Structure 1
Amino acid sequence: MSHELQFYIDGAWVDPVIPRTLDVIDPATEEAFTKISLGSEADVDRAVAAAKAAFPAFARASKAERLQLLRRVLEVYKSRYDEVAAALSREMGAPQKLAKTSQAGMGTAHLTKMIEALESYEFDRLAGTTLVTREPIGVVGMITPWNWPINQIVCKVAPALAAGCTMVLKPSEVAPINGILFAEVLHEAGVPKGVFNLVNGDGPTVGEAIARHPDVDMVSFTGSTRAGILVAKAAADTVKRVHQELGGKSANIILDDADLRHAVTRGVAGCYGNSGQSCNAPTRMFVPLARHDEALEIAKAAAETFRVGPPDAADTVLGPVVSQVQFDKIQRLIESGIAEGATLVTGGPGRPEGLNRGYYVRPTVFGHVRPEMTIAREEIFGPVLSILSYESEEEAIRLANDTPYGLASYVQSGDLARARRVAARMRSGNVYINYPAWDAGAPFGGYKQSGNGREYAEFGLEEFLEIKGIVGYDAA
């Protein structure tokens, strides 16, 4: 049975209180392929009530019981893996290979890592005569985005289950089907009723109702900085914990001792991954002034190897961006780069040749970008790279840190000790040296307007815990 027009509340699939639907658009065709129901404040109230009622019992579940539950969730997720990958490709336009190996793979990786983290995690510590214990925070509201959908859902649900929290999830209404499938996974795995609840809907209605609900103890949000500010304001009156992973404008410093061809080529690929729709993408590339034009030639050659096309085509590397809204925003920012005097190296406005339908964007590189230009300041969220220059290492660090964001930074160098020194001065939650492999155990989150709190492994688990000191616990 399809559950696309229902919500998952208190262990059952239920109809919305107020019937209202939304088309889910295939970004490759610009046509609706299904519908979901949009929730209301009344649906949120039902879901929060279920989570609140389930909390006392689930909070008392032992660590062994929660581990057993997470292992069952992982087992069932693996059995539904291909369905999740297919949904991700259809609803967000991810090429099939990316959807299967990376997008859906994030769910497996985070569940596996959370199981490992919970196995070794100590919730209690005796400090003198005081017991310092960590307890589940309570009912958690979760609001997740469309760009890495199952990744962000599992990044929140897995640690919440590990901590003993109950929860209400609002997935992105732009890419909601993978969230519905994950709810089915949790149901099949035997998550107790009321522990996990799902209400689809938009941000101004369901998202805001979750954020300001007096019975929600914490709200965990991933999305734009603009929307994150609204969530924090809505949550403020009830003084709940607000955990946010927001936007980014990540710098990629290529030092003068790096292999320029390798560093620029890999930097282009990093910027373009997931059609540029990653909050930690290295979208500002800093190269030595004396080699700026050489870097542009390398970037141009690299960018022009990226095949843009339908997600189901075998040779597609970049699919469409997710929506008309995103497509229009990217086009506006590309036009601003041209208007403000940046050098258009390759790409530009409009769709790639031969693609007249679908939200396809031309892989674009701008050179001679100045730090004050719009394309160097605003998050574009598309396959658009800005290349800036510097004259000294000191200037590169200063320019890289000159941003309201602080999610990620990248440093390329032939000297690891030098790269480490530069990394230590970057004002961001993550620094990646010489394009390392992704690490599901590294803390993920940002400085400044990129948010607060951390996700992944034990760092994510601790966000869902309260610290209690029981003084006089050991009076011997």
Structure 2
Amino acid sequence: MRNYTQFYIDGQWVAPVTPRTTEVVNPATEAVSGTISLGSPADVDKAVAAARRAFASYGDASVAERLDLLEAIQAEYLRREAELGAAITEEMGAPASLANGFHTLLGKGHLATAIDVLRTFKFEEQRGVTLIRKEPIGVCGLITPWNWPMNQTCVKVFPALAAGCTMILKPPQLAPYSAQILAEILHDAGVPAGVFNMIQGQGSVIGAALSKHEDVDMISFTGSEPVGVQIQKDAADTVKRVGLELGGKSAWIVLDDASLAAHVAGATAGMMGNSGQTCSAGSRLLVPSARLDEVRKVAAEAADGVTVGDPTGNFAMGPVVSRSQYDIIQDYIGKGLAEGAELIAGGLGRPEGLDKGWYVRPTVFIGTNDMVISREEIFGPVLVIIGYDDIDDAVAIANDSNFGLGGYVSGEDLDTCRAVSRRLRTGAIWVNGGFDFHAPFGGYKRSGNGREWGELGLHEYLEVKSIVGWAAPA
């Protein structure tokens, strides 16, 4: 049992102002795995005051000092990486191979990228008589989700540290363990008191208090669209910067060529990764209508081949994070059936042989873009295949969405893939796979605003100052 009942404020582990706890449930077993404290606005006040005091000095820290700090964190992260992986499996049900693989890799990748960007970043640039200076924005409230705990936390914390900001982290209530370990890593690496603070608790309480707080200069939030909208409203009175990475209903366009079967199989299996709990997942698979019979067979076989079971064992997919999430996904599968979508794999209920834990069957529908299952983010292992007539039709279907976070284009003709990618109204597009920690990530439309990852992720935490007359006119 894990019992994390203290918060990290001003360089110390401290008791909440008003003691109140909640249990954390292991989604694979439905058993209680630990306890955390639930913070209050009074705890937020303490943490913000500590961050404001610390900003007076850390905001002026040299690039060399910040690099030394990030490199010390890097050494501690690598030392405790296996602990982080085990915590992620326990808190949100990611298979051990995934938790100790891509989950923790993303965290250390964002750390290495922050170091790399900081080494060469130009904080000052003279243009004519004017000096353009980039300075840390100040005290940041960082609110993170449960689906990729290290990715979504580290992509905020490390660029903020690199920029010279101080911060208060509000980790996800459903997946709080890995954030606790990360806080210990930062403490052991020597992060100055007050620079990093962490309060566990409910988003509706801690997130709202941070968003409304007069001494918080910026909010960075990753999560659902409705919560992001509320954060913007709460932050409006203090005119603070708000960065949002919200929902998605990303289209994966497979071109009509000889590689179609392989791409359909890969896209189907990929949708089931992390139990479908990925905001940029390719949850709408767009394929040539003339080849739907072939696609039907390939996709069904790929989905049926995804093994589901105990995340500590050798399975490709574990449970979803909670009973609530399980119920939401089941409701969407039911809506798909009611709408008349063709079910070709999976369906309602748990996979055969699993009677405990929040396990969902890898599910594939063939449907149309006007169905609820094609319009709304399900956040589970549910794929909708939609036929298109030609490239123009595929692009129109892909862009016919309230969201615009991710997109995928697969095919043998790279020029065609590039042309299609240019026409998609979405923030990040992957052509035939690929991965890049320096590629900016963020959304169009209701998928949010601002960008994370790489150099643009550092820009999120900077203000721009113009000093006119810095140089004498020629």
Residue 160 of structure 1 deviates from its aligned partner by 0.4
Contact preservation (8 Å) 1:3, 1:180: no
- How do 1:73-472 residues align onto structure 2 when only pairs under 5 Å count? 73-257=73-257, 259-314=259-314, 316-367=315-366, 369-436=367-434, 438-472=435-469
The alignment partner of 1:387 has SS state of: strand
1:370-401 CA-partner distances (Å, limit 9, x unpaired): 11101000101111110000111101100100
- Given residue 229 of structure 1, which amino acid in structure 2 is its aligned partner? V
The alignment partner of 2:285 has SS state of: strand
Alpha-carbon distance in 2 for matches of 1:293, 1:264? 12
1:308-363 CA-partner distances (Å, limit 9, x unpaired): 0011112x110000001110000000000000000000100000000000000000
The alignment partner of 1:226 has SS state of: helix
Residue 256 of structure 1 deviates from its aligned partner by 1.2
Residue 435 of structure 1 deviates from its aligned partner by 1.9
Alpha-carbon distance in 1 for matches of 2:36, 2:17? 14
How many percent of aligned residue pairs carry the same amino acid?
53
The alignment partner of 1:362 has SS state of: coil
Residue 31 of structure 1 deviates from its aligned partner by 1.3
Alpha-carbon distance in 1 for matches of 2:453, 2:285? 27
1:193-234 CA-partner distances (Å, limit 9, x unpaired): 000000001111111001111100000000011111111111
The alignment partner of 1:23 has SS state of: strand
The answer for unaligned runs of 5 or more in structure 1 is: none
Contact preservation (8 Å) 1:222, 1:245: yes
Alpha-carbon distance in 1 for matches of 2:205, 2:278? 25
The alignment partner of 2:242 has SS state of: strand
1:24-54 CA-partner distances (Å, limit 9, x unpaired): 1100011111000000000000000000011
Alpha-carbon distance in 1 for matches of 2:465, 2:349? 56
Alpha-carbon distance in 2 for matches of 1:209, 1:143? 11
Residue 469 of structure 1 deviates from its aligned partner by 0.2
- Given residue 414 of structure 2, which amino acid in structure 1 is its aligned partner? L
The answer for unaligned runs of 5 or more in structure 2 is: none
Residue 259 of structure 1 deviates from its aligned partner by 1.1
Residue 69 of structure 1 deviates from its aligned partner by 0.4
The alignment partner of 2:335 has SS state of: helix
Contact preservation (8 Å) 2:260, 2:411: no
The alignment partner of 1:17 has SS state of: coil
Residue 3 of structure 1 deviates from its aligned partner by 6.7
Alpha-carbon distance in 1 for matches of 2:258, 2:128? 51
Alpha-carbon distance in 2 for matches of 1:424, 1:348? 35
Alpha-carbon distance in 2 for matches of 1:212, 1:32? 33
Residue 104 of structure 1 deviates from its aligned partner by 1.2
Residue 270 of structure 1 deviates from its aligned partner by 1.9
Residue 434 of structure 1 deviates from its aligned partner by 1.1
- Given residue 150 of structure 2, which amino acid in structure 1 is its aligned partner? I
Alpha-carbon distance in 2 for matches of 1:233, 1:148? 26
- How do 1:44-55 residues align onto structure 2 when only pairs under 5 Å count? 44-55=44-55
1:82-109 CA-partner distances (Å, limit 9, x unpaired): 1100000000000000000111111111
Alpha-carbon distance in 1 for matches of 2:436, 2:382? 25
1:418-466 CA-partner distances (Å, limit 9, x unpaired): 1100000000000111122x21111011111101111112111010000
Alpha-carbon distance in 1 for matches of 2:2, 2:162? 29
Residue 123 to residue 20, structure 1, CA distance change in 2 (3 Å) = same
The alignment partner of 2:319 has SS state of: coil
Alpha-carbon distance in 1 for matches of 2:289, 2:107? 42
- Given residue 376 of structure 1, which amino acid in structure 2 is its aligned partner? S
1:109-161 CA-partner distances (Å, limit 9, x unpaired): 11011101111111000000100000000000000000001111110000000
Contact preservation (8 Å) 1:67, 1:119: yes
Contact preservation (8 Å) 2:3, 2:34: no
Contact preservation (8 Å) 1:3, 1:13: no
TM-score by length of 1: 0.98
Contact preservation (8 Å) 1:258, 1:412: no
Residue 257 of structure 1 deviates from its aligned partner by 2.5
Alpha-carbon distance in 2 for matches of 1:265, 1:459? 33
Contact preservation (8 Å) 2:170, 2:207: yes
Contact preservation (8 Å) 1:445, 1:454: yes
Between the two proteins, the alignment pairs up a number of residues equal to 473
- Given residue 374 of structure 1, which amino acid in structure 2 is its aligned partner? V
Residue 67 to residue 426, structure 1, CA distance change in 2 (3 Å) = same
- Given residue 347 of structure 1, which amino acid in structure 2 is its aligned partner? G
- Given residue 451 of structure 1, which amino acid in structure 2 is its aligned partner? G
Contact preservation (8 Å) 1:82, 1:100: yes
1:163-199 CA-partner distances (Å, limit 9, x unpaired): 0000000000000010010000000000000000000
The alignment partner of 2:99 has SS state of: helix
Alpha-carbon distance in 1 for matches of 2:260, 2:156? 38
- How do 1:13-32 residues align onto structure 2 when only pairs under 5 Å count? 13-32=13-32
Contact preservation (8 Å) 1:454, 1:463: yes
Residue 258 of structure 1 deviates from its aligned partner by 5.2
Alpha-carbon distance in 2 for matches of 1:128, 1:258? 56
Residue 459 to residue 326, structure 1, CA distance change in 2 (3 Å) = same
Residue 250 to residue 158, structure 1, CA distance change in 2 (3 Å) = same
Contact preservation (8 Å) 2:2, 2:33: no
1:241-271 CA-partner distances (Å, limit 9, x unpaired): 0001110000001111251111101111221
Residue 303 of structure 1 deviates from its aligned partner by 0.6
